[in-house]
Amino acid sequence: MAKSNHLTKRGSIYYFRRKIPLDLLQHYPGKREITRSLGTKDSDEAARIARRVSVDLDEEWQTLRNAVNSKQADAARVALLLGEPEQPSDADTLDPAHWDEAASHEQAEETAAHWDAEDEQQEKDEAEADRLERVWAIVERRRAEAGQALIPPTIRDAMASQNAPTDQQAKAPGHKPNGLTLEQIIPLWQRDRQPTSKTIDAVTRAVREAKDPDIHTIKRQIIIAMRDRWIAAGNSVATTNKKIGFIRLLLGVAKSRGLIEVNHAEGAELPPPKRAVELRLPYSPEQAETVMAATEGARESDPAMYWLPRLARWTGARLNELHQLRKDDLQAREGVPGLMITDEGEHGNGVDMRLKNQDSRRWVPLAEPVRDFAEWAGKQPDGPLFPAKPNKYGIVSDAFSKRYGRFLRETLKIKDKRITFHSWRHGFADMCRAAGVAPDVRLALMGHTEGGVSGTYGAGEGLPAKRLIDAVVCLGSDT
C-alpha cells in the first residue's frame, strides 16, 4: 500500500491516517494523527478520496502557519477553528523542511498501538449510555404503572452528572479535553454551510442554553441531561428535538474535522408525540368561510389581509412566498394567469427574495376563485404588491404573521393553536387529494419533492403548464 496515500485498512473499510506536524500538535491536544473513515472497500476509490482529504489538510495546516506569522492571537480558540493558532509554539522555530522528520517513529507506532483500544473504549461508553437510557425507561414505566410520579428531572440530572468526567478523571492519561466549546465550532459551521442569520441565532441560543460545554466532555449522558432540562423547562418535544439537532450538527462538524471521534448526539431526539400532520390542522369549512367573510371588506383598505388568505387557500403557497410577490411575478401561461414563486432578484429596497429551498421555485396557476387577483395586481405600481418592512432576518411577512394570529384568536375567537395561516396550505393539500389531483402535480403546485419526483421545479419549468392548469380548474369547479 502506498505510504503517500496515508491509507490503512480496518476490516474491509479503508481509513485515512496522517501524522499531525509537530509544530501544530498544540492545536490537537492528546492527538498525534488525523484518522478518518473513507467509507469504502474499494482501494482505487479510497486512494482518490484520501488525496482530497490530504489536500484539505495541507490547506488547513498552511492557514494555521500563515496565521502564526500574522500574529493574530486574539479570539484564539475561534480562530483555531477558522485555521488560526492560539499562539506560536517553540516548534515554530524549526525548519519547515524538518517538521515531519521531527515527529519520531516511536510516536507514530505508539499512536497505532492505541488506536484500536481507544475505539473499543468509545464503543463501551456508548453501550453504557444506551444501557442507562433503557434502565430509565423501565423505571419510569413501572412507576407510571404503579401510579407514582415520574422521577424529577433534577434527580435525573444529578445522577447523569455522576457519569460525567470528574476533575480527577479529566487529569487522567486517558482523558483528552481539547479546550474547544460548542460555540467555538459555530464559525467553522458558518464557513462550510453559510446558514442564514436566523439559523445562526437559533443555534447560538441552543448552545448557550446547553451551557456551552467542552466538546470532548459531551457524552451520551450529557446529551440526555440537556434534553431532559429542556423538556422540564417547558419546551415542546419538537422544540427540544430541534435544539438537540443543533448540538448534533455542531458535533458532526467537530467530528469531521478530527476534533472528536464520536458524535454522542446522534439518535438522541425524542420520538414525536403525534404525526406531523396533526401539529397543524386545516380550516374547517365553517372556519374558512368565517375568515373570508371577516376580510371581505378589506380589499381596498387592507389588501394584504384580503388577498393573502385567499391566495393561500387556492394556491397552497407559504405566507412569505405570497407576501413578497411583485407585480412582475404575475405571469400567464397557456392564456391562464399565475404566480411565479421565485427567489430571484429583490423584493424592494435591497431586500432579497427568499424561498424555503430550491424546490420551492415554481409557477402556480390561479384558480377561478382568485383569478381576479391578476387584474388587481395589474393596476398596482411596479414593485412589491404588499410592501412591508422585513424583520432582521429579511422576512417580509413577519409582522403580518403576528397580526393575522391576533386576528384569528382575538377577533374571530378561533382559539385552537393548531389553526394558523399555514393551515391554508394543509387545506389546499386536502382539496387536491379530494379532487383526485395526481401526487406529482400536487407536489409541483406546492413546491415539494417526494421520492421519485423530479426536482426540476427550481428552474421554473417542471411539469407542463397544462397539467397544472387542469388541476386548479378541477379545484375551482369543486366550490
CATH number of the domain that 460 lies in? 1.10.443.10
**CATH number of the domain within which 251 lies:** 1.10.150.130
pLDDT in the model for residue 385: 95
Cell numbers found for residue 299: 380589499
351 exposure class (CB count in 10 Å sphere: 0-12, 13-18, 19+): middle
pLDDT higher at 4 or 352: 352
Residue 138 lies in a domain: yes
The strand pairing partners of 7, in sequence order, are 16
Least confident range from 204-208, 354-358, 420-424: namely 354-358
Q: Looking at the structure, do residues 375 and 321 belong to the same domain, yes or no?
A: yes
**Sheet with 7-10: strands ordered across:** 7-10, 13-19, 33-37
Residue 123 has pLDDT above 60, yes or no: no
Residue 376 lies in a domain: yes
Q: Which helix (H) or strand (E) holds 14?
A: strand 13-19
Residue 246 has pLDDT above 90, yes or no: yes
Task: Domain of residue 264: give its range.
Answer: 125-166+175-273
Q: How many domains does one find in the chain?
A: 3
Cell numbers found for residue 247: 448540538
Residue 117 lies in a domain: no
Q: Looking at the structure, do residues 291 and 329 belong to the same domain, yes or no?
A: yes
Interatomic CA distance for residues 243 and 201, integer angstroms: 12
Cell numbers found for residue 410: 382575538
pLDDT higher at 298 or 178: 298
Task: Give the end of a domain, one of 254, 273, 292.
Answer: 273
* pLDDT above 70: percentage of residues in the chain: 69
Question: In whole numbers, what is the pLDDT of the chain averaged over residues?
Answer: 77
pLDDT in the model for residue 129: 53
Residue 279 has pLDDT above 80, yes or no: no
Residue 221 has pLDDT above 80, yes or no: yes
Q: Looking at the structure, do residues 440 and 464 belong to the same domain, yes or no?
A: yes
pLDDT bin (cut points 50, 70, 90) of residue 204 is: very high
pLDDT higher at 379 or 102: 379
Maximum mean pLDDT: which of 61-65, 276-280, 306-310, 340-344:
306-310
Cell numbers found for residue 361: 421555485
Q: Looking at the structure, do residues 361 and 319 belong to the same domain, yes or no?
A: yes
pLDDT bin (cut points 50, 70, 90) of residue 392 is: confident
Q: Looking at the structure, do residues 285 and 409 belong to the same domain, yes or no?
A: yes
Q: Looking at the structure, do residues 308 and 433 belong to the same domain, yes or no?
A: yes
pLDDT in the model for residue 264: 94
Residue 81 has pLDDT above 70, yes or no: no
Residue 53 lies in a domain: yes
The pTM of the full predicted model, rounded to 2 decimals, is 0.52
Least confident range from 87-96, 154-163, 228-237, 441-450: namely 87-96
Are the C-beta atoms of residues 122 and 261 closer than 8 Å to each other? yes
Q: Looking at the structure, do residues 319 and 232 belong to the same domain, yes or no?
A: no
Q: Looking at the structure, do residues 233 and 186 belong to the same domain, yes or no?
A: yes
pLDDT bin (cut points 50, 70, 90) of residue 315 is: very high
Q: Looking at the structure, do residues 403 and 423 belong to the same domain, yes or no?
A: yes
Residue 95 lies in a domain: yes
Q: Looking at the structure, do residues 303 and 243 belong to the same domain, yes or no?
A: no
Residue 114 has pLDDT above 70, yes or no: no
Least confident range from 154-158, 267-271, 302-306: namely 154-158
Task: Give the end of a domain, one of 273, 306, 341.
Answer: 273
pLDDT in the model for residue 270: 87
pLDDT in the model for residue 359: 77
Q: What is the mean pLDDT of residues 284-312?
A: 96
Residue 118 lies in a domain: no
pLDDT in the model for residue 115: 39
Residue 135 has pLDDT above 90, yes or no: no
Residue 322 lies in a domain: yes
| Neighbour count for residue 456 (Cβ, 10 Å) | 15
Residue 70 has pLDDT above 80, yes or no: no
Pick from 69, 31, 394, 67: which is nearest to 216 by CA? 31
Residue 131, φ and ψ in degrees, nearest 5: -60, -45
pLDDT in the model for residue 468: 92
The gap between the terminal CA atoms of the chain, to the nearest Å, is 71
Q: What is the mean pLDDT of residues 353-377?
A: 91
**Residues 97, 103, 109, 114, Cα dihedral to 10°:** -130
- 271-278: long-range contacts at Cβ-Cβ below 8 A with a sequence spacing of 24 or more? 271/237, 272/237, 272/238, 272/241, 273/237, 277/426, 278/418
Q: Looking at the structure, do residues 315 and 394 belong to the same domain, yes or no?
A: yes
Residue 110 lies in a domain: no
Q: Looking at the structure, do residues 71 and 139 belong to the same domain, yes or no?
A: no
pLDDT bin (cut points 50, 70, 90) of residue 449 is: low
Scan for cell 404588499, then name that residue.
Answer: 386
> In Å, how far from its chain's centre is CA 374?
36
Task: Give the end of a domain, one of 273, 306, 327.
Answer: 273
